[in-house]
Structure 1
Amino acid sequence: MNGADLIFVNGKVLTMDDAAPSANAVVVKDGQIIYAGEKETALSWIYDGTEVVDLEGRTLMPSFIESHIHPSIFGLTLLEVDCKPAATPSIAAIKEKIKQKADAIQEGQWILGWGWDDSKMAEKRNPTRWDLDEVAPDNPVVLKRACAHMAVANSKALELSGIAEDTPNPQGGNIERDEHGRLTGLLQEKAQGLLAAPKYTQEDMIKGMKRAQEKFASWGITTVHCMSTQTADLQLYQFLAEQNKLNVRVRPWMWAIDQNGFDGSLEEVLKVGLRSGFGNDKVKIQGLKFMLDGSVGGKTAAVSEPYVDTEETGILYNTVEEISPLMKRGIESGLRIAIHAIGDRAIDVAIRSYEQINEIVPLQHMRNRIEHCVFPTSTQLRQMNELGLMAGSSIGFLHHIGDNYMKKLGEERMKTAFPHRSFKEAGIKAPGNSDLPVTDGNPWPGIYTLVTRKTSSGQVIGAEEKLSVWEALKAYTTDAAYSSCEEEILGVIKPGAKADVMVLSHNPTEVEAEQLREIEAVSTYVDGKLIYSTNQTRKGESIVQ
């Protein structure tokens, strides 16, 4: 018997394998798990070079898979002015931060920020160009809302971007004007693409991705699905992999068409002949990403019934006739599709588009996805099952911004928001996600919310849609691995799987539900290599450089 590289003993192992859900020892060789079971058998693999980790009763489980985030964008937000609610609880606080930045740089330099949320600020309103003009009149300023579906720009940024009061709204976008027809500075959806903010360099992206990876490792995340991959992103991931500086597995979804300030690559991808699954263990192409509507926070998600106290029903980007042929071209070329659809109107367009394609190209085996999929009807759930569609459910939204959702949509509609129990009963795989940087990327609040259906304020929404702890954990492990057709090697502890694991501060199956969001990764491993440890690093910093 050949010796092992790494052996974990004296712990409680949650394998996430329904056929053999628990063990107390795990053996790793050449980056793979070769045994999960009893300590006595595991120790038979010891030889001179074997590292034995005594878990001291702690829990070992597969590390997390984030099935819908924006890694490179998150990294860049870590380089921008932090406007998240914790850092800027008011417009006054935003203005102070922007003033500090303007005072520290040259006149004319752009100031970019991220993360403001009007629903969590003292004034309960969006910042305006006039707010920003007060503190940075000579610097162009653009601050993106946390949802990424809106941005506010000051007068200088609007001027340099050629946006004036007579600029027409782009299709699928809105340039907000006040009652006098004046620009407020708020740009919604595709209107953000009119902004002329400078592009980041690869050096910036590398710096940001390094910081992002440190966060991922501290959260126990070792695989991420990049849902907005453009040329620079793919170059970034490949460069870091070549330099042996990519300590997270990246699963890119190529941004298909020009939308929201992102450049589409549909024609180039099809011409080159990329197919889903192309790549290696570190970077593996998943498919094409499309968008159909906006966000609930910005009241741009396409819903059938108006938002509370308004006549607004959101923005629907495309019709079936427009989007289905584009999706079909990708599918015929061997590329899976992920399509953003939050409101029921958008979900309807997504499903009808898939149905049209299915009449010509069978889809059931492909594992195509509807992203976010917040408000599907019971009919839509049945249709999704028939088409073999997955729901990339942003359950993190319910925890972090669910209270705002409730205000915008009302109690009755929110009962069936993020319907995970219904997904399961309908036979639909629904991996959980945070849509980082839209909400915080730590999976534990999402897992907590799957189990309790509680928002950050403690409000319970749709209690009948609760999952068990085991089911909630699967949403971030085996179900997420299924979404990349890797359920045999990722998100599970069993022979043949990758040794991507983490040691936890507490056993999630043994603590009270309220303690779930307090659980932390004590150490994180990729391919059996330690990339994070609370014993060797500051919280949130990877030990792999």
Structure 2
Amino acid sequence: MPITPADFVIENASVITMDSQCPFAKGVAVADGKITALISSENENYPIKPGGKRINGKGLTLLPGLIDAHCHLRAQISHELSVSCSRNSINSIEEIINAIRQEAKCLPPGTWIRATGYDPFYLKEERHPNRWDLDQAAPNHPVRLRHVTRHASVLNSAALTLAGIGPTSSEPPGMKVDRNYETGMPTGVIYGGDTWLSQFVIPPITAAQLKTGAIHLQKKLLSRGITSVQDATPTNGLGDLEFWANRIDQENWSIPIQLMANEKNHLTLTKHLAKEFSPEISTRLEMGSVKVVLEALPELYPSLDELSRIAVTATSRNVPIAVHAVDPEMVWTATEAIRSAQDNYPEKKIRHRIEHLSLCPDAFLPAISELGIIVVTNPSLIYNHGDRYLIDVDPLEQEWLYRMNSLRSANISMAAGSDAPIASFDPWIGIKTACIRASISGNVVGPAEKLSRWQALKMYTTGAALAGGWEKVRGKIHPGYQADLIALDLDPLNCSLEALSHINVLAAWSSGNLVYSGKPIFSLFS
């Protein structure tokens, strides 16, 4: 077979390919946005095109670009534009009140105030803030304060009025309004209902804010080595599809995005994407799974019958489902719904997903393996929230938390996602946490579930590619694959465990194009 001359060749590098058949190399050749060859010591003079570049890697480590298999892009932008009430800056409800009060001083009356990241576990009062706390901060502004998990919110009185939530109001499916037992008066605390609030009550952030936020977000993602993402937001709609298409078309957004959406939106977005956008945009923006969020408020919603219907319908369209499942009942329900879909369409080999698998007993692992379900786990949640898990979760169930080694032993495919903004989008925190299982304060959560470094890296490369149906195009440094590459200052397989979360990404390529460089590229490699 003739050798294809390269647009550029990186030689004298330490290449970790993430391909188990050929895990290491000395360099890589790239042509037309794809890997054309791995360079060994025997073929260092790989031919290049006229005007092509031969780059001395100076012993730096090359890795496939990392893939975040579960994040929320617009939510991350919104998070960075909101009043931060995280444990890094807030220790009490009084401090939350003061932070929101300062924001209110800068905004006209009636303007929505968004605040995010509070966690009662770390507050001095050890309780949720309520409507009356937020009324003290901003009596003339509607306020939404989101829990760190984004599965609970606190609204002040003005926001409750706009939402139509009062002593006798009914509750939309999947939402529970906390009320005074005697009077029925809402306390302001709302469990679930994130989709309903976002669609019908709280206005979106402005287009200008989103555009600016996207520019900053892309740089942050690339600077940590993330070159592809799977956005697991169930409320993604036409506006989101068009927003990201415009970023690709107008502002050189280089990170391929796979959007999930709920059942209703997914088909509409799929048709719109095929009809309205150019092939160039479609190479970096595509539809992923049908996303379903299971809620238990107090009964499981959607029910097993409804989830099974969703799974069967999606499977008929050759589309996987991705089910948010955080407790054993949800895991069982997700597994049985996927079983129903496979029973209806045994000829279709679709890799359905369970997102999080936060608490999973041993008894469920054989079925997950048998059905070929991919588990998308979140090591960074252990880092960011592990201390709370060790208090809130029954000690007898703590070994079920975010299982990894047990899944590997059961031959269950795994991917990793940040779940940003609920946890840090930094993949190196996740990779380190998968290896040591330590929380931010150093408490170890489920030590038997530790992974090796190679196994942890797989979740962000080949595993994440498999979860998105990208296993033949990205996730490895392999001939014919997209040339998504990152150059690192340390070798993640050989540096100290402590150093894993401090690895610096020196450069990143997407489809062979240099899209990030911490320094001028020629000072790095020439």
Superposed displacement of residue 404, structure 1: 0.8
Query: After superposition, where does 1:48-447 map in structure 2 within 5 Å?
Result: 48-178=50-180, 181=183, 182-190=185-193, 193-194=196-197, 196-228=201-233, 229-243=236-250, 245-256=252-263, 264-265=264-265, 268=268, 280-293=282-295, 316-362=300-346, 365-447=349-431
Query: Which amino acid in 2 is paired with 1:169?
Result: E
Superposed displacement of residue 394, structure 1: 1.8
Superposed displacement of residue 150, structure 1: 0.7
Alpha-carbon distance between aligned partners in 1 of 2:347 and 2:216, rounded to the nearest angstrom: 38
Alpha-carbon distance between aligned partners in 2 of 1:178 and 1:143, rounded to the nearest angstrom: 20
Alpha-carbon distance between aligned partners in 1 of 2:391 and 2:485, rounded to the nearest angstrom: 39
Secondary structure of 1:224 counterpart: strand
CA contact (8 A) 1:289 1:337 kept: yes
CA contact (8 A) 1:115 1:145 kept: yes
CA contact (8 A) 2:238 2:269 kept: no
Alpha-carbon distance between aligned partners in 2 of 1:2 and 1:113, rounded to the nearest angstrom: 54
Secondary structure of 2:400 counterpart: coil
Secondary structure of 1:351 counterpart: helix
Task: Please give the TM-score of this superposition, normalised by the length of structure 1.
Answer: 0.88
CA contact (8 A) 2:109 2:140 kept: yes
1:204-260 Cα shifts (integer Å, max 9, x gaps): 33232222212211111011001112222111122222225221110111222xxxx
Distance of aligned partners of 1:17 and 1:174 in 2 relative to their CA distance in 1, 3 Å threshold? same
Secondary structure of 1:516 counterpart: helix
CA contact (8 A) 2:290 2:319 kept: yes
Alpha-carbon distance between aligned partners in 2 of 1:381 and 1:393, rounded to the nearest angstrom: 14
Distance of aligned partners of 1:266 and 1:2 in 2 relative to their CA distance in 1, 3 Å threshold? closer
Select between 415-424 and 194-203 the one with higher mean Cα deviation: 194-203
Distance of aligned partners of 1:397 and 1:108 in 2 relative to their CA distance in 1, 3 Å threshold? same
Query: Which amino acid in 1 is paired with 2:265?
Result: S
Task: Please give the TM-score of this superposition, normalised by the length of structure 2.
Answer: 0.91
CA contact (8 A) 2:435 2:451 kept: yes
Secondary structure of 1:510 counterpart: coil
Query: Which amino acid in 1 is paired with 2:386?
Result: G
CA contact (8 A) 1:76 1:209 kept: no
Alpha-carbon distance between aligned partners in 2 of 1:365 and 1:136, rounded to the nearest angstrom: 53
1:95-124 Cα shifts (integer Å, max 9, x gaps): 222112111111111111222222233333
CA contact (8 A) 2:318 2:350 kept: no
Query: Which amino acid in 2 is paired with 1:143?
Result: L
Select between 435-444 and 80-89 the one with higher mean Cα deviation: 80-89
Superposed displacement of residue 332, structure 1: 0.7
Secondary structure of 2:154 counterpart: strand
Query: After superposition, where does 1:26-45 map in structure 2 within 5 Å?
Result: 26-38=28-40, 41-45=43-47
Superposed displacement of residue 37, structure 1: 2.4
Q: Identity rate of aligned residues, in percent?
A: 29
- Give 1:515's aligned residue: 499
Distance of aligned partners of 1:219 and 1:123 in 2 relative to their CA distance in 1, 3 Å threshold? farther
Query: Which amino acid in 2 is paired with 1:483?
Result: A
Superposed displacement of residue 348, structure 1: 0.8
CA contact (8 A) 1:292 1:346 kept: yes
